[in-house]
Each structure stands twice: as structure tokens, then as C-alpha cells.
């Protein structure tokens, strides 16, 4: 292992995690504030098309993050302080994944189904685990609030992943 390889692997851990934090902060702060200004029916109509656009940016970051974290953790497996930080980042990534899969994906699928998107049918198994029922005019405001409140831990967790990854690099 060369210092150049280590630097590249560490960059693969830090850059996607920090970029994913930035994307989540943007979605929560900028888009969240915008969605709160909309009438509930307008939110339902606009959410999934906008989310689909974000997905093409954030999904590669979400998938690259564990690659960099795992490879970096393997490089520092004999350094206790760095290893502890990498493990914490990996555990946080697992929590982030669980929140995404079991909390946000069902809500996203419900919102997709509300506008007749084929995603709602293709991923209908998520509706079985959704915290909310079908999206209607009466429930749209609640679903928006539930989605945005659930996004707050995602932003904080993605920030923490970046911090732990950076700390691991600095603890060598």
C-alpha cells in the first residue's frame, strides 16, 4: 500500500460522505422550506418529480460512501484510534441506510403512487411498511411534516459520518 493509494481511498470515504451531507442539507433546508410554502396538493404534485432529479445526484454518493469507508477501515485496522472512528462512521452509515430503506423509501413510494408514477406500482412492497396510509388531500400535510421531520436525523448522521471519517484520517 502506497501513500497515494491511501490518500485516494481516504478521499473516496470523505468526499462522497461530505457531498452527501451537503445534498441532504440542501434538500432539508432549501427544498424543505420551499415544500412548506406549497399547498399540500401542490407539494404532492411536485415532490416526486423533484425527488427523482435529486436521486440521480445523491444515489451515486450514497453508494460510493461505504466503499471508501470500508476500504479505509481495512487500511487502518491496526491503528486503534483510527479504526474506532472508521467503525463509528460505518455504524452511522448502517443507521442512515435503515432510515432510508424503512422510513423514507415507503414515504417516497406513497408520494410517487399519489401522482400515478409507475414507481408506486413497481415498489409497492414498500407501502406495506409505510408509517402512513395512502396520500390524500387530507393526509398530504401530515406526510410532508413526517417526511421533513424524518429528514433531520439523516442530515445530522451524514454530517457525523463525514466528521468521523475526517477524524480517522487525522488520527494516523
pLDDT in tens, 43-92: 999 999 999 999 998 999 999 999 999 999 999 999 999 999 999 999 99
Q: For the whole model, what pTM was predicted?
A: 0.93
pLDDT, residue 27, reads 95
pLDDT, residue 9, reads 97
Give CA–CA dist 21/154, Å, rounded.
8
Statement: residue 120 has pLDDT above 90: no
Q: Taking Cα atoms as reference points, which of 60, 99, 86 lies closest to residue 163?
A: 86
Average pLDDT for 36-41: 96
Amino acid at each position: 500500500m502506497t501513500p497515494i493509494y491511501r490518500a485516494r481511498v481516504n478521499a473516496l470515504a470523505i468526499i462522497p460522505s461530505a457531498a452527501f451531507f451537503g445534498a441532504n442539507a440542501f434538500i432539508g433546508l432549501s427544498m424543505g422550506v420551499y415544500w412548506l410554502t406549497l399547498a399540500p396538493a401542490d407539494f404532492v404534485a411536485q415532490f416526486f418529480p423533484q425527488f427523482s432529479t435529486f436521486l440521480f445526484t445523491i444515489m451515486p454518493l450514497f453508494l460510493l460512501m461505504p466503499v471508501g469507508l470500508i476500504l479505509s477501515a481495512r487500511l487502518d485496522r491496526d491503528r486503534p484510534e483510527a479504526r474506532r472512528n472508521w467503525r463509528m462512521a460505518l455504524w452511522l452509515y448502517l443507521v442512515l441506510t435503515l432510515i432510508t430503506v424503512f422510513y423514507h423509501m415507503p414515504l417516497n413510494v406513497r408520494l410517487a403512487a399519489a401522482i400515478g408514477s409507475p414507481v408506486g406500482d413497481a415498489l409497492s412492497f414498500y407501502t406495506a411498511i409505510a408509517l402512513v396510509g395512502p396520500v390524500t388531500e387530507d393526509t398530504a400535510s401530515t406526510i410532508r411534516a413526517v417526511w421533513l421531520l424524518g429528514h433531520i436525523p439523516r442530515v445530522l448522521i451524514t454530517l457525523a459520518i463525514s466528521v468521523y471519517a475526517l477524524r480517522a484520517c487525522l488520527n494516523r
